[in-house]
Structure 1
Amino acid sequence: MDLPSLSNALGVVLRAGGRVLPPLGNGVLGSNDNSSKQDLLPPINRIPVEILAEVFFRFLEIPSDYFPDRPMLAVTSRCMANPFILGHVCIHWRAVALSTPTLWSSLAIHKPASWMAPMVQIWLQRAKNCPLSLYLYVHCKPSRPEIVGADAILPLFVMCLPRWKNVTFYLNGGPYDSLLGLPNHTARMLECALLDLKSWDHASADQVWRSLSSSPKLRRVFWDNRYMLHHLPAHMPWTQLTHLRMDMGPGSVAPDALLELLRSCQELVELHFVPRIPIRNIPRVSPFILPKLRVLTVQTLCRWDPSLILGCLILPALASINIRHGHISSERQSILYLKDLLARSSCQLKNISLWDTGIEEAEIVDFLSTSPAQFITALDIDVPGSITEATIALLTHDPDDPRTLVLTHLKTLKLHTIRCSDGVLSKMIRSRLPYLEFCEASAEATNLHLADRIFMASMQSAGFNFSLDLIDL
């Protein structure tokens, strides 16, 4: 049995509440008959301790599809299990859980409550000297008990500040006194910090960030959309960052200073850029290289020309790009900025997600036919109006016509708001089997006909990861 199967079996045992290690009868076996005792043990208790610990890890990391809206402690924000339950099964399991501090090195709390504080203290003690991953979510409109719970738990986190490695805090209802006045250069293990402090005053939020940004290992920073509304934090270690989300406010930074800032971020691997005001009058500068940037997301919430920034970049390592430009404007943008970026960068783009109200379907069809697009393995496109047969025909392979062989590496496909004749979608998908592994499509119920609906349903029944979302308007 492989480890995933063992971890799933473990979940069944724990949910059943049954005993795994039955008591041995007195006087039935001789005191030296160890092999006979071993034979009576259930199979899961015969495996070596280090493998059992690995099974525990896999069990605790099983993601959950359902999260009740109540206070909860878990190992991560994606699951509901916690290691306390392992110690309730038998003495052997308890010993393994307590002797494996890494089982306790990650803690996620949803809607904190004051009764959690003793459990959190025990949890952190059992982690011993392991680096910690901490997650704390306080609801956007927290109740008074939730604020009191956060006030009780945060001091326990702060006591472990030198061991923070990865922290994700959504701390509505603050500021919280325990995070104010954190000493600089203390969180020396900290590598990743995501702080949502948008309910705080700026001075208090900046005080927390100033302390955490003094970590020599800090590489990933993500802040809420209010933190950088009015100025750029000078204390942030820009030159050492590998992952950065930038929400640009009305007074945060001048365009030329923004370009100089990006130029200094030579270690960047992933950039999520969110301009919230129109950016104009960017000075003409020679394009500069960000040699390690692999993932780029541009999410615009205003009238903004993506080429103003993208036109200044050369990204030879770029593998994934996500453009979200939903501002409706009479000043229509074209896809030229994306073509120019790829040509200038000479990169092999693998993933593209494109939703730009300024780009017409014909431009996307033309772009997907170009050489820089032929390395794409994952494609997610949306256009103003609907995706028509023009796009679907381009993606359809005809084995008798080599000219139809475009995007031959495509494995993942998402098409939004399709409008096509009956059978056109299913023909395209068939032409890409067995290489197409995932397909997600949406269409108005009146725009997708019976043959395509039946085909998608049959593919799902056959075990393919295909889905169809019918929209009733």
Structure 2
Amino acid sequence: MPGISAVPNEILEEIFWRCLPSPPDRGLASEFPSILYIDPSSATAPLLLCQICRRWRELATSSPCLWASLNTVSARTSEQLELWLSRARHRNLSLRIERRYLYHPHPHYPSSSALYLPLLVTKFSRCQALALKNWPAPSDFAMPASFPQLESLWVQMSNDALEEARSISRPLLGHAPRLRCLHWDGPDVPLPWGQLLYLSWRPANMDIFSRTVHQFTSITTLQLDFSWRFFEGISLPEPCVVPQVATLFFGGNAAGLRTIITPLLRHLVLQKLTVEDDTEQDLAIIHLLERSCCAIVTLEIYEGCSPSFPCLVLLHDCIAPSLTRLVISSHDLNDFFSSIETMVPDTLPMNVRLLRAVDRCFHIDRLDFCAPGTSTSALARVLARCFPCLVQLDLDDGFCWDDDDESDVFETSVVIGGERTFMV
């Protein structure tokens, strides 16, 4: 490679760094910032770079930035793990650790915690990002006392550890002054709630939630997930103001929306809401909007919403005037148009048809075969009147099977701009 050989090492090192896998881009639909944890593979950088020539191997192995991220689940031996981390030298680390084969260990594949934890724990003080899955009970392993570099922590404790840890009053997480992002799927323990900017949390019960939510003074992105029976047999407390939250991901029991007030809310994501009464779901959402007096810019609606949801909520004063991006299923969007026509007859042009089928997802279709020369651009004009600021519509139907064309149907993104042509 005569041309490459003339490239200075500093530039080549920058090229190597850009060859690393990219973190997943999950868009707004993910509450947690995307962080790259590299799987050791000869098919991807940095190991791939070491196979090209001697110069590349020497430069790659002496570039700590290429080795500062690792998904330890993919490490085959403790020697491989130790070699990888030694090449990172003194760089801050991003580590993903999973305790595998917890219940039925395979004789040839022992638990990764038994193999790697003693080594990995010595690196925790250098971790900038840390993801711990199936984390063991505190009696099996205690967290270090200090995490001076830690900015992002993702924790899911193992089922066998939860009961033991519920009774712990001391912090499981030591001193972590730089921690800003936390996903916590574990017991009720003291955590640095007040310094967080991103939080994903599934509270165990209302008492824990009530004692904790007032500490969310700095959080800007919040995900809450309440279990189906979370509010069973108890009365809802007065809602608490979470003053800085601009993005809210909410799933589970919709009654939880009545427990918070979010005056700065701009982005709302609703995922798999569960209620016994569809009307209660809609009223809970409207309660959040009206108490918060916010202006929603982005609204994402995923599976689990009631048939009455689209019209009651989408046309609310906190949504319709300011909405610029909407994610909704074609089923719910069809219901929205149907509700509009019911509430205000003759709103939809006569030549617009709504295609429905019993055994598959609803579709918005051009239906030129039914009305030559017409298309769903007429529906786009209805959307433009309802949502004057709308510039993007995403149809999300998850995974389903279309019997007509025998193809899988996934999310369809529709950008409404210029003349607001609406094509699906």
Provide closer, same or farther for how the CA distance between residues 183 and 167 of structure 1 changes in structure 2, counting only shifts above 3 A: closer
The runs of 5 or more residues in structure 2 that have no matched partner are 26-35, 341-346, 349-359, 369-373, 385-389, 416-421
- Alignment length, in residue pairs? 367
Structure 2: distance between partners of 1:246 and 1:84: 36
Provide closer, same or farther for how the CA distance between residues 147 and 259 of structure 1 changes in structure 2, counting only shifts above 3 A: same
SS of 1:143's equivalent in the other structure is coil
2:310 is aligned to 364
Larger Rg: 1
Provide closer, same or farther for how the CA distance between residues 214 and 392 of structure 1 changes in structure 2, counting only shifts above 3 A: same
| TM value normalised by structure 1 | 0.64
1:348 is aligned to 295
Shift of 1:441: 4.9
Structure 1: distance between partners of 2:52 and 2:300: 47
2:92 is aligned to 131
SS of 2:311's equivalent in the other structure is helix
Structure 2: distance between partners of 1:200 and 1:131: 31
- Residue type of the alignment partner of 1:369: L
SS of 1:417's equivalent in the other structure is coil
Structure 1: distance between partners of 2:8 and 2:112: 40
Structure 2: distance between partners of 1:51 and 1:209: 49
Q: Is the 2:149–2:178 contact (alpha carbons within 8 Å) kept by the matching residues of 1?
A: yes
Which of 220, 224, 227 matches 1:273?
A: 224
Provide closer, same or farther for how the CA distance between residues 176 and 331 of structure 1 changes in structure 2, counting only shifts above 3 A: closer
Provide closer, same or farther for how the CA distance between residues 429 and 101 of structure 1 changes in structure 2, counting only shifts above 3 A: farther
1:91 is aligned to 54
1:294 matched to 2:246: yes
1:313 matched to 2:276: no
Provide closer, same or farther for how the CA distance between residues 54 and 291 of structure 1 changes in structure 2, counting only shifts above 3 A: farther
Structure 1: distance between partners of 2:96 and 2:364: 45
Which of 276, 300, 314 matches 1:329?
A: 276
Superposition pairs for residues 17-56 of structure 1, below 5 Å? 21=1, 41-42=2-3, 44-56=4-16
- Residue type of the alignment partner of 2:203: M
Which of 178, 185, 196 matches 2:156?
A: 196
Q: Is the 1:64–1:78 contact (alpha carbons within 8 Å) kept by the matching residues of 2?
A: no
Structure 1: distance between partners of 2:264 and 2:276: 32
Structure 1: distance between partners of 2:201 and 2:154: 12
1:427 matched to 2:376: yes
Shift of 1:318: 1.8
Shift of 1:259: 2.9
Q: Deviations over 1:399-452 (max 9, x none)?
A: xxxx99xxxxxxxxxxx9315676299624994899548554577746x899xx
Structure 2: distance between partners of 1:191 and 1:133: 10
Provide closer, same or farther for how the CA distance between residues 449 and 162 of structure 1 changes in structure 2, counting only shifts above 3 A: closer
Structure 2: distance between partners of 1:318 and 1:417: 31
1:391 is aligned to 336
SS of 1:215's equivalent in the other structure is coil
Q: Is the 1:350–1:376 contact (alpha carbons within 8 Å) kept by the matching residues of 2?
A: yes
1:117 matched to 2:95: no
Shift of 1:139: 4.4
SS of 1:190's equivalent in the other structure is coil
Q: Deviations over 1:169-221 (max 9, x none)?
A: 2237x5598x724441x222122222222243337667899343432222222
1:245 is aligned to 200
Shift of 1:124: 1.1
1:220 is aligned to 181
Which of 310, 322, 328 matches 1:381?
A: 328
Between 1 and 2, higher relative CO (CA 8 Å, sep ≥ 6) is seen in 2
The runs of 5 or more residues in structure 1 that have no matched partner are 1-20, 22-40, 66-73, 396-402, 405-415, 460-465, 469-473
| TM value normalised by structure 2 | 0.70
Q: Deviations over 1:222-275 (max 9, x none)?
A: 233xx33xxx21x211212222222233xx452xx5234111110112222222
Structure 1: distance between partners of 2:324 and 2:94: 32
Which of 27, 38, 42 matches 1:76?
A: 38
1:101 is aligned to 64
Q: Is the 2:325–2:392 contact (alpha carbons within 8 Å) kept by the matching residues of 1?
A: no
